[in-house]
Amino acid sequence: MSTPPATQSLAFRVMRLCRPSFHVDTPLLLDPSDLILGEDIFDDPLAATHLPPLIDTHLTNPIDSSDLSYRSRFLLQNPSDSFGLSGLLVLPQSFGAIYLGETFCSYVSINNSSNFEVRDIVIKAEMQTERQRILLLDTSKTPVESIRASGRYDFIVEHDVKELGAHTLVCTALYTDGDGERKYLPQFFKFIVANPLSVRTKVRVVKETTYLEACIENHTKTNLYMDQVEFEPAPSWSAKILKADEHKSEDNSPSREIFKPPVLVKSGGGIRNYLYQLSLSSHGSAESNVLGKLQITWRTNLGEPGRLQTQQILGTPITPKEIELHVAEVPSAIILDRPFLVHLNLTNQTDRELGPFEVWLSQDDTLDEKTVMINGLQTMELSQLEAFGSTDFYLNLIATKLGVQKITGITVFDKSEKKTYAPLPDLEIFVDMH
């Protein structure tokens, strides 16, 4: 905090709303029996009979508040006196910690310490960072008419803290002194903005599903109550948060639908983990590996809000397939040596026309080992597919062995581009006698 020169009539004072602390007093407190009695005095039967009533009578006598000698100031009048808590609160003597994502709110008072009235005061308050200078208050168009001797003018400034590092609240005043002299008063109030929390992320891909784990750690000296931790997926993604199973009575409670309690992240390194399941949409970008970003809002012990947004979270680049072949329906009952139809769907996931196609069962296995085969023509012809179009078709198959069997090697071939796509994953079926 800067101090104005002695020649200035005005001076700025900056105050913040901070939680007070307990005033702890640790005087020398004694029990009178420790002063007048020895350790073995009660070994004497006569003393053990007469001394305790005398001591109790002395302690129960009320203290004369008019006694200015304070002869009893070191005596324990109440067991709680030994804790040293006086019941008083102490206002913070420092400016306090300021964190990224919070709203810096300060009560500024400009005081006239002279014996004369000052007039036509133009007040400005600016927040200066390493990157920019932001105007918070400017009374140039409507100057303060006057501040009487020993008087003051108060105002409140607010600023959403969006940068880390050194910040300076610059308060200036241009005024006419009691002698009619125009004076300029600059004062600077410096503080450091720290990071309240850290966000660590891990991205894992399981088959065609992407999982994002976010770990939030509290670096402040106070508890943080998370109101919201939401993942905003990129346009080509959809997201779903995964939570542990909760107690049924809590899950169906009417009050739970009305009030959602905040999540507590304890001070000094408390951690909270979140897990999201991400799915790539059908028309997703084939090149971008941007998954999205996290929006985090919280409140402190005094209810002050905070908000942070992470940078874009990157994942493993995933190139969508040009075509997608999946099984739409399989008969519930499959009989040995009897033909059955498998309903399949073929989708064009590109913005251009593909095809025509051929569909067959690959011959990776020998004919003797093949337990499910095509019944009829070994190759099926499919027409062209327009951009993002799809078609349904049926494969006529027959099973030659009982029990759990696999349909393997359903392959699609693009006749125009002479390109063979990866076979459909194996499909298990159960073959029965009847």
The pLDDT of residue 26: 63
153-166: pLDDT as tens digits: 999 999 999 999 99
Task: Answer whether residue 285 shows pLDDT above 60.
Answer: no
CB burial of 235-252 (b: ≥16 within 10 Å; e: otherwise) equals: ebbebeeeeeeeeeeeee
The pLDDT of residue 197: 92
The pLDDT of residue 216: 94
Average pLDDT of 221-238?
88
The pLDDT of residue 273: 92
The pLDDT of residue 86: 67
Task: Answer whether residue 109 shows pLDDT above 90.
Answer: yes
Range of weakest confidence among 256-260, 306-310, 351-355: 256-260
The residue extents of the domains of the chain are 10-16+93-194, 24-61, 197-314, 323-432
% of the chain with per-residue pLDDT over 70: 76
Place of tokens 């009178």: 32
In this structure, the strands spanning 118-128 and 165-176 are antiparallel
The pLDDT of residue 120: 93
Computed over every residue of the chain, the mean pLDDT equals 81
Range of weakest confidence among 12-21, 165-174, 326-335: 12-21
Task: Answer whether residue 103 shows pLDDT above 80.
Answer: yes
Helices (H) and strands (E) in the chain, counts: 4, 31
Distance CA 296, CA 101 (A): 9
Q: Which CATH architecture has domain 197-314?
A: Sandwich (2.60)
pLDDT band at residue 123 under the 50/70/90 scheme: very high
124-172: pLDDT as tens digits: 999 999 989 999 999 999 999 999 999 999 999 999 999 999 999 999 9
The pLDDT of residue 371: 85
How deeply is 422 buried, as exposed, middle or buried, from its count of CB atoms within 10 A (0-12, 13-18, 19+)? Answer: exposed
The pLDDT of residue 82: 59
Q: Do domains 10-16+93-194 and 323-432 have the same CATH topology?
A: yes
Residue 148 or 68, more confident: 148
Within 155-261, residue ranges assigned H as helices are 248-251, 254-258
Distance CA 324, CA 53 (A): 96
CATH class of 323-432: mainly beta
Task: Answer whether residue 276 shows pLDDT above 80.
Answer: yes
Residue 12, both tokens: 């700025």
The pLDDT of residue 286: 46
Under a CB-based contact definition with an 8 Å cutoff, are residues 170 and 188 in contact? yes
Task: Answer whether residue 377 shows pLDDT above 60.
Answer: yes
Task: Answer whether residue 188 shows pLDDT above 70.
Answer: yes
% of the chain with per-residue pLDDT over 90: 31
Range of weakest confidence among 50-64, 160-174, 268-282, 392-406: 50-64
The pLDDT of residue 221: 87
Give the Cα-Cα-Cα angle 198, 204, 209 (nearest 5 degrees). Answer: 125
pLDDT band at residue 31 under the 50/70/90 scheme: low
The pLDDT of residue 249: 46
Average pLDDT of 293-308?
88
Residue 8 or 36, more confident: 8
Average pLDDT of 349-359?
86
Residue 58 or 48, more confident: 48
Most distant CA pair in the chain, distance: 120
SS3 annotation, 112-181: ECCCCCEEEEEEEEEEECCCCEEEEEECCCCCEEEECCCCEEEEEEEEECCCCEEEEEEEEEEEECCCCC
Average pLDDT of 372-380?
86
Closest-CA residue to 120 (of 187, 172, 173): 173
How deeply is 14 buried, as exposed, middle or buried, from its count of CB atoms within 10 A (0-12, 13-18, 19+)? Answer: middle
Under a CB-based contact definition with an 8 Å cutoff, are residues 408 and 386 in contact? no
The pLDDT of residue 261: 82
Under CATH, what is the fold of the domain 10-16+93-194? Immunoglobulin-like (2.60.40)
Task: Answer whether residue 77 shows pLDDT above 80.
Answer: no
